[in-house]
Homo-oligomer: A and B are copies of this chain.
Amino acid sequence: MGFEENIRRVVPYVPGEQPKDKNLIKLNTNENPYPPSPRTAEAIRQFDPGLNRLYPDPAAGKLIRAIAGRYGLEDSEVFAGVGSDDVLAMCFLTFFNGGKPVLFPDITYSFYDVWAELFRIPYEQVPLDEHFRIRPEDYDRACGGIVIANPNAPTGELLPVEEIERIVGAHPECVVIVDEAYIDFGGESALPLIRKYKNLIVVQTFSKSRNLAGMRIGYAMADASLIRWLNDVKYSFNSYTMSRLAIEAGAACIRDEAYFAECCRRIMETREKSADMLRALGFRLTDSASNFLFATHPDVQAKDIFDYLRGRGIYVRWWDKPRIRNYLRITVGTDREMEVLGEALAEFLRRIATALR
């Protein structure tokens, strides 16, 4: 018998491509098209690099205080990690240890089933309805936990906060994670509910609306008891997750409320213009409250569009998965990037039409 028998075999999450060519139009991983707040650049410039010889604050206090201050919370109600993936992985590991299955939609962030498999957590995927919407009543059953991305990915559909409350309130027996990676693009956060429901944890990220995907910062907000359990697991995994630079840049970033609001406003404006443009080209779209659009075309296979755009240096996201095989997820870029996308799509559709004539 060899050592291979003791190895944990998993099918990992496959992140979107990160091509290094800067001339590409990159609309495939939902990054913010605008640079981070100038205050983060300033924080990095002001940072004394000699301090890097010392461990960071394991509690990332400065960052935690900045986040708590932004949301009107106590420090004890906030947890930070290396991107919201790290935060969510810690949540799965900490909160989902019962024998009953954890529930999440069949079409949602595709890391949820990967974490469940990794940690051997039983789970069931609850089908979205035919309009790719969550039906809260489908979650009215005994379970070991619930995870809802809101807005959902890759559909962009928003569940009203009353529906979130209905799910959370119906499940005092388990922790409900609401993954709000995209909430700042027009959605209403479930955050106020954490003072009412001790089983609710709200997860957000600096990677989308705060323009800092490269820095790796995510956070969770919940009743102090949930945060304490989460910290116990974090301190059993890695004492020092947040680097000194992440703490400094993150704290500076979250204090620049005006820049944050302006970037979100612009992205929402571009989203609506882009949605109109896509509809004019014959695409059908979900009702996205996020920084991406989820689009299908009745006449053309999504995979063919994906390949064509790629050949023209425009990266969008496509999954070879049931139900969504004929959809593209398109990150909202700058106005100019979306115009170039529109021109490429129009050209492709013209060629198809000519070929079919």
A residues adjacent to B (C-beta < 8 A): 1-3, 5-15, 18, 20, 26, 29, 31-36, 40-41, 44-45, 47, 49-58, 82-83, 85-86, 89, 93-98, 114-115, 117-118, 144-145, 171-175, 198-199, 207, 211-216, 229, 231-246, 249
CA distance A10 to B54 in the complex (A): 27
Given contacts A8-B229, A12-B232, A12-B233, 15 further A-B contacts (CB under 8 A): A13-B235, A15-B235, A18-B54, A32-B53, A35-B52, A36-B50, A44-B47, A52-B211, A53-B212, A83-B238, A86-B237, A214-B243, A215-B243, A215-B244, A243-B245
Contact of A15 among B86, B229, B239 (CB under 8 A): B239
Can you report 16 A-B residue pairs in the complex whose CB atoms are below 8 A from each other? A6-B98, A6-B174, A7-B94, A8-B93, A18-B55, A40-B49, A41-B49, A45-B45, A52-B214, A53-B211, A56-B213, A82-B82, A85-B240, A86-B237, A89-B237, A117-B236
5 pairs of A and B residues whose beta carbons are closest in the complex: A12-B235, A41-B49, A6-B98, A52-B214, A35-B50
- Residues from chain B with Cβ under 8 Å of A3 in the complex: 95, 171-175, 198-199
Could you tell me if A239 and B58 are in contact, using CB atoms closer than 8 angstroms? no
Please give the count of copies of this chain that the complex contains: 2
CA distance A175 to B3 in the complex (A): 6
Contact of A144 among B6, B95, B238 (CB under 8 A): B6
Could you tell me if B15 and A214 are in contact, using CB atoms closer than 8 angstroms? no
A50 vs chain B, min Cβ distance (A): 4
Q: A16: nearest residue on chain B (CB-CB)?
A: B55
A56-B245 contact in complex given A50-B36, A117-B236, C-beta closer than 8 Å: no
Could you tell me if B52 and A238 are in contact, using CB atoms closer than 8 angstroms? no
A233-B82 contact in complex given A53-B31, A53-B213, A214-B54, C-beta closer than 8 Å: no
- Residues from chain B with Cβ under 8 Å of A236 in the complex: 10-13, 114-115, 117-118
CA distance A7 to B93 in the complex (A): 9
Question: A34, A198, A214, A246: which has the most chain B beta carbons within 10 Å?
Answer: A214
Question: A31, A57, A232, A239: which has the most chain B beta carbons within 10 Å?
Answer: A239
- Residues from chain B with Cβ under 8 Å of A246 in the complex: 243
A176 vs chain B, min Cβ distance (A): 9
- Residues from chain B with Cβ under 8 Å of A40 in the complex: 49, 52
Could you tell me if A86 and B199 are in contact, using CB atoms closer than 8 angstroms? no
Q: A43: nearest residue on chain B (CB-CB)?
A: B49
- Residues from chain B with Cβ under 8 Å of A216 in the complex: 56, 240-243
CA distance A52 to B248 in the complex (A): 14
A229 vs chain B, min Cβ distance (A): 5
- Residues from chain B with Cβ under 8 Å of A9 in the complex: 229, 232
A49-B35 contact in complex given A216-B241, A235-B13, A238-B83, C-beta closer than 8 Å: yes
Could you tell me if A55 and B214 are in contact, using CB atoms closer than 8 angstroms? yes
A74 vs chain B, min Cβ distance (A): 20
CA distance A47 to B12 in the complex (A): 31
Question: A85, A98, A216: which has the most chain B beta carbons within 10 Å?
Answer: A216
Could you tell me if B52 and A118 are in contact, using CB atoms closer than 8 angstroms? no
CA distance A235 to B13 in the complex (A): 6
- Residues from chain B with Cβ under 8 Å of A242 in the complex: 216
